[in-house]
């Protein structure tokens, strides 16, 4: 009986399962590494700040602008419909600037960011136009031209939107 077992022909290695299992493990790691490299090369690294020191110093200026807006009791209501913006501001004393800067920044994709100059209309509200925004979370930051105050908001945009701007930090 032992002689019949020894005389059976052994199939070549490529017709056996275990060598393919041993080859598949490192091969899958190579494929995963190549896919990771492709994703890394095609994805922007927009969240990396080149000059972190200047960014840190800017935080102090930001706090000063928010404090000044809080002292003014400044808040606003921004409405966006299609490509038109309407901004109503509320403050202890009337705002004297005829033009304000509104920055609309995407939460993760800086190439979608917009800066819009809104101008005061005859009724006292500010109006401007913007390019269509993709669906998602956006940060809104409103400043006067002298950059002495700012109010902000975080909102989800999916078509027409309305957002309350204030000195509250997100």
The domains of the chain are located at 75-165
Residue 7 — pLDDT band, cuts 50, 70, 90? confident
Q: What's the pTM value of the predicted model, to 2 decimals?
A: 0.65
Helix (H) or strand (E) holding 32: helix 17-42
Instruction: State the pLDDT confidence band at 59, using cuts at 50, 70 and 90.
Output: low
CATH of domain 75-165: 2.60.40.10
Q: How confident is the model at residue 141, as a pLDDT?
A: 93
């Amino acid at each position: 009986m032992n002689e019949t077992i020894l005389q059976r022909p052994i199939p070549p290695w490529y017709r056996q399962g275990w060598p393919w299992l041993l080859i598949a493990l490192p091969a899958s790691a190579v494929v995963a590494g190549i896919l990771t490299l492709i994703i890394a090369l095609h994805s922007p690294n927009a969240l990396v700040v080149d000059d972190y020191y200047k960014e840190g110093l800017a935080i102090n200026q930001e706090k000063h602008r928010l404090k000044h807006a809080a002292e003014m009791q400044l808040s606003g209501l921004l409405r966006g419909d299609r490509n038109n913006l309407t901004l109503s501001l509320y403050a202890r004393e009337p705002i004297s600037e005829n033009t304000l800067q509104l920055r609309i920044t995407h939460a993760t994709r800086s190439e979608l960011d917009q800066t819009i100059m809104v101008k005061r209309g005859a009724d006292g509200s500010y109006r401007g136009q913007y390019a269509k925004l993709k669906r998602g979370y956006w940060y809104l930051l409103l400043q006067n031209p002298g950059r002495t105050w700012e109010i902000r908001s975080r909102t989800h945009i999916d078509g027409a939107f309305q957002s309350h701007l204030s000195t509250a930090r997100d």
